[in-house]
Amino acid sequence: MDSFVFHSPTKILFGKYSIEKIGAEIKNYGVNKVLILFGGGSVKINGVYERTKKSLSDYGVADIEFWGIQPNPLVSKVREAISIAKDVENGIEGILAVGGGSVIDSAKAVGIGVKYQGDIWDIFEDVKKKPNKGLPVFTVLTISATASEMDIGAVLSNPEKKLKIGIQIGFPVISAIDPSVQFSLPWRQIMCGAVDSLSHLMEQYFSRPNESITSRQINLALQKSIIECVKKIKSNNEDYNARANFAWSVGQALFGFTKPGLSGDQNIHYIEHAMSAYNEKIAHGEGLAVISDAYYPILYKRGIASDQFEEWAQTVFGTNSVDEALKKFHDLYIFWETPLKLNDIQLNGNDIDAIVDIFDRQQKIKRPSAIWPLSKEDAKEILKAILKK
C-alpha cells in the first residue's frame, strides 16, 4: 500500500437546518463580511437565497453579492470577482459560495486570487506555482455532484486558450449541506451528479495495484450506496433519506477518503475535460457518461485490472461475469437516462481530432494518473468506440 497524507479539514454542517447555521459559523470564524458568489438564480426559487441572507444578517455578517457563475466556470468571471474582493473599500474577509461545484470552484479560486500577486490563471496552467493561503471559503451547497464542498480541488475553463484545468487549490473551511434543497432539481442535474461521483469512484477503484483492501471496500460500498439512492430518488423525488444519503455518498466519493493507497485512473475525466474545453455546452456528467460506457469494456478487453473487474462485478452488480456486469452498468446508465452517443451531446465524428488534440495538450500540462497511459491513438480509439454505438 502506497504512503499517503490524509487531510480533510472542512467542517460539514449536514441536515435540514444547516443553512440557518452558516451565519453563526462564519461570524464565529472571525469573518465579518463576505463576497457571496451565486450561479444563475435558482437559489431565488428554492429558498436558499433568502435562508442564507437571513442567517448572515441574523449573526451580523455583511455581504456583497456577485452573480452569474456558469457551469464549466470561466476564469474571466473569477477575475471579475477577485477585483471586487481585492478592493480594500469593500472590506471582504471571506468568500461564500452558494451553489454547486462551479460556484464553489470559482469561490476557491477567488479566495486564493485575492492574495495572489499575478493572474489567477497562472496557478492553473503552471503546476509549479503553488498558491499561498487565501481568504477563507465557506459554502452553502445546492447540488451534490463534484464534492467541491469538502475537497481541495477546483476546475476552471479558459475559452481563449481552449483549456479546462483542475488543480488542488484549497479546502472550504465550513460547508452547509441541506439535502432538502435538492428536491427541486431537474432529473438531468441529479443524473449528472450521480454520473460524476460514480465515475470518480470507478476511476479510483480501477487502479494499480490492488493492495488497498480498505479503500477498495469503502469505494465499492459507496458505489452501491449511490446506485441505491439514485434509484430511490428516481421513484420519489422528495425522499429525504435517499437525498441525504446521496448527498453524503457523493461527498465521500471525492473528498479524499476513498483515495488512500489507490493510485487512481483519471483517463475518463481527462478526456471529458478535453471534450468540454472543446464545447463548453457539454455538461460534465453527460460527457463522463458517454466516455465511461465506451471506456470500461475496452479497458477490460485489454486485460487491464482484471482482478478489480471481477470483484467489482460481484460486489456492485452481484454477478461473477464481468461481461454481465458491464452490461448491467450500461443498463444502469440507460435507466438513469444518460446520453450514450456522441450526437446525444451534439458532437460527431468530425470533432474527434480536435478533442484529441486538446486532450494531448492538457496531458502535457498535467499528466493524469492512469492505469492505462493513453497515447493520442488510444484516446482516438475510445472516442471512435463511442461513434460505433
Interface residues with a second copy (CB under 8 A)? 1-18, 211-215, 217-218, 220-222, 224-225, 228-229, 240-242, 244-245, 248-249, 252, 257, 260-261
- Cβ-based nearer residue to a second copy, 59 or 240: 240
- Cβ-based nearer residue to a second copy, 17 or 67: 17
Beta carbon of residue 243, minimum distance to a second copy (angstroms, whole number): 9
Q: Can you spell out the DSSP letters for 254-276?
A: HSSTT-TT-----HHHHHHHHHH
Beta carbon of residue 248, minimum distance to a second copy (angstroms, whole number): 5
- Cβ-based nearer residue to a second copy, 10 or 199: 10
DSSP-derived 3-state class of residue 26: helix
Using CA atoms, how far residue 4 sits from 102, 133, 147, 257, in Å, is 28, 22, 20, 11
Beta carbon of residue 30, minimum distance to a second copy (angstroms, whole number): 14
Beta carbon of residue 178, minimum distance to a second copy (angstroms, whole number): 9
Beta carbon of residue 324, minimum distance to a second copy (angstroms, whole number): 20
- Cβ-based nearer residue to a second copy, 239 or 381: 239
- Cβ-based nearer residue to a second copy, 207 or 267: 207
Beta carbon of residue 321, minimum distance to a second copy (angstroms, whole number): 19
241/196 Cα distance (integer angstroms): 21
Beta carbon of residue 224, minimum distance to a second copy (angstroms, whole number): 6
User: Residue type for 360, please?
Assistant: D
- φ, ψ of residue 310 to 5 degrees: the values are -65, -45
The single residue listed with the C-alpha cell 460527431 is: 348
Beta carbon of residue 319, minimum distance to a second copy (angstroms, whole number): 16
C-alpha cell at position 137: 471559503
Reference 345, options 294, 301, 279; nearest CA is 279
- Cβ-based nearer residue to a second copy, 68 or 260: 260
How wide is the angle at C-alpha 9 spanned by C-alphas 233 and 249, nearest 5°? 15
**Sheet bearing 174-177, strands edge to edge:** 62-66, 33-38, 94-99, 137-141, 174-177
190/144 Cα distance (integer angstroms): 8
307/262 Cα distance (integer angstroms): 14
348/116 Cα distance (integer angstroms): 41
- Cβ-based nearer residue to a second copy, 131 or 287: 131
C-alpha cell at position 174: 465550513
293/329 Cα distance (integer angstroms): 8
- Cβ-based nearer residue to a second copy, 160 or 211: 211
310/320 Cα distance (integer angstroms): 7
C-alpha cell at position 68: 452569474
